[in-house]
């Protein structure tokens, strides 16, 4: 019997490994959507991060040659600062984060980190310096602990728990019968968009990268969840160079600088107060959002009164 049991065990082991491997590859590809054509230059050195300052220098970009998306953008994200990008849908906001992560190369100009053109360094070193909290997080078919620890595989359970606490997801996890050992993903617990995003934030807190890209969820979250996520994001972006891609204005009020992007150009820049005083596009976007929020609030109050 032993003669059969051992190979069967082994087959089981291999099967589990392959299945997890496939889930990982699948998740990575859907998260990263990596175009195959980006390659390291021969002998490219690793990125040497000193302070983590980002610079976009006259960056132009198109996906298709007949449709220019970014039309010459220049801006800095000084080390440790938070710069938020806002603007109408389709303006090119998320494209900026894809270029910084080097899913695509710029078609003109350059992007540097601490003075190094990101095309001259290895992609591996670039991506290990950047923490990305994407719009939609794909979780691995494994436990919550595994999904958080993915940010730094050597982390202890205490560190995983601490990251979950900072990401405002610990109280939720503690309500689950199996806590951190709860299975999530396709065959496990289905987490809501907001919960998944907080798992991604916890993962990023563990990874502790010098640079952060936060691509906010476009889907509307309820006010309570949004506030929790905002608290989590404030924690993780403290003292890190952070580029926030904001699809809602409520989350950018405290940014050191806000860039207003319209049809691939920066049309306004400044702090929230400066932009409001300018009375331009940001000001009208802000008013529109406030009206929408107030209408929603009235609707909710009316429903509760019924």
Q: Three-state DSSP class for 56?
A: strand
Residue closer to ligand ATP, measured from CB, 80 or 108: 108
In the sheet with 54-64, reading across from the earlier edge strand, the strands are: 67-77, 54-64, 108-113, 116-117
Distance CA 293, CA 287 (A): 10
Least distance from ligand ATP to the Cβ atom of residue 254, Å: 20
Residue closer to ligand ATP, measured from CB, 90 or 280: 90
Which residue in the set 1, 3, 65, 89 belongs to the binding site for ligand ATP (CB under 6 A)? 89
Residue closer to ligand ATP, measured from CB, 173 or 217: 217
Which residue in the set 73, 81, 84, 92 belongs to the binding site for ligand ATP (CB under 6 A)? 92
Query: Counting contacts by CB under 6 A, is residue 95 touching ligand ATP?
Result: yes
Which residue in the set 82, 94, 143, 168 belongs to the binding site for ligand ATP (CB under 6 A)? 94
Least distance from ligand ATP to the Cβ atom of residue 43, Å: 30
Q: Which residues make beta-bridge pairs with 257?
A: 83
The answer to whether 70 and 95 are in contact (CB under 8 A) is yes
- Total site size for ligand ATP, rule CB under 6 A: 13
Least distance from ligand ATP to the Cβ atom of residue 129, Å: 22
- Reported residue count of the chain is 306
Distance CA 58, CA 248 (A): 26
Q: Which residues make beta-bridge pairs with 243?
A: 83, 213
Distance CA 186, CA 54 (A): 37
Least distance from ligand ATP to the Cβ atom of residue 148, Å: 27
Among candidates 190, 212, 192, which has minimal Cα distance to 80?
212
Copy the structure tokens of residue 26.
């699948």
The answer to whether 114 and 48 are in contact (CB under 8 A) is yes
Strands, E assignment, the chain: 54-64, 67-77, 82-86, 108-113, 116-117, 130-133, 211-215, 241-245, 257-262, 265-270
Residue closer to ligand ATP, measured from CB, 65 or 279: 65
Residue closer to ligand ATP, measured from CB, 136 or 162: 136
Binding mask 206-245 for ligand ATP (x = CB under 6 A): ------------x---------------------------
Binding mask 165-204 for ligand ATP (x = CB under 6 A): ----------------------------------------
Binding mask 125-164 for ligand ATP (x = CB under 6 A): ----------------------------------------
Least distance from ligand ATP to the Cβ atom of residue 220, Å: 13
Stretch that binds ligand ATP, among 82-90, 121-129, 162-170, 281-289 (CB under 6 A): 82-90
Strands, E assignment, 149-306: 211-215, 241-245, 257-262, 265-270
Which residues contact ligand ATP (rule: CB under 6 A)?
63-64, 69, 87, 89-95, 218, 247
């Amino acid at each position: 019997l032993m003669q059969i049991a051992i190979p069967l065990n082994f087959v089981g082991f291999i099967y589990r490994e392959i299945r997890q491997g496939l889930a990982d590859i699948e998740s990575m590809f859907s998260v990263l959507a990596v175009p195959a054509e980006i390659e390291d230059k021969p002998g490219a050195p690793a990125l040497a991060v000193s302070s983590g300052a980002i610079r976009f220098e006259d960056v132009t970009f198109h996906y298709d040659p007949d449709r220019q998306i970014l039309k010459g953008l220049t801006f800095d994200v000084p080390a440790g600062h938070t710069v938020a990008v806002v603007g109408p849908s389709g303006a090119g906001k998320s494209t900026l984060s894809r270029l910084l992560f080097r899913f695509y190369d710029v078609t003109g100009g350059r992007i540097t980190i601490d003075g190094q053109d990101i095309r001259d360094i290895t992609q591996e070193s670039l991506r290990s310096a950047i923490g990305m909290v994407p719009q939609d997080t794909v979780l691995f078919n494994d436990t919550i602990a595994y999904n958080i620890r993915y940010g730094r595989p050597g982390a202890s359970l205490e560190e995983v728990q601490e990251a979950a606490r900072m990401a405002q997801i610990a109280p939720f996890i503690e309500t689950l019968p199996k806590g951190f050992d709860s299975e999530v993903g396709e065959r496990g617990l289905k987490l809501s968009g907001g919960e998944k995003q907080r798992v991604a934030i916890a993962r990023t807190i563990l990874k502790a990268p010098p640079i952060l890209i936060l691509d906010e969820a476009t889907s509307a979250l309820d006010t309570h969840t949004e506030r929790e996520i905002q608290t989590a994001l404030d924690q993780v972006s403290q003292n890190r160079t952070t580029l926030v891609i904001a699809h809602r204005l409520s989350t950018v009020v405290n940014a050191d600088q806000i860039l207003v992007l319209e049809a691939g150009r920066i049309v306004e820049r400044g702090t929230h107060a400066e932009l409001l005083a300018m009375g331009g596009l940001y000001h009208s976007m802000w008013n529109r959002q406030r009206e929408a929020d107030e209408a929603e609030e009235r609707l909710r109050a009316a429903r509760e009164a019924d």
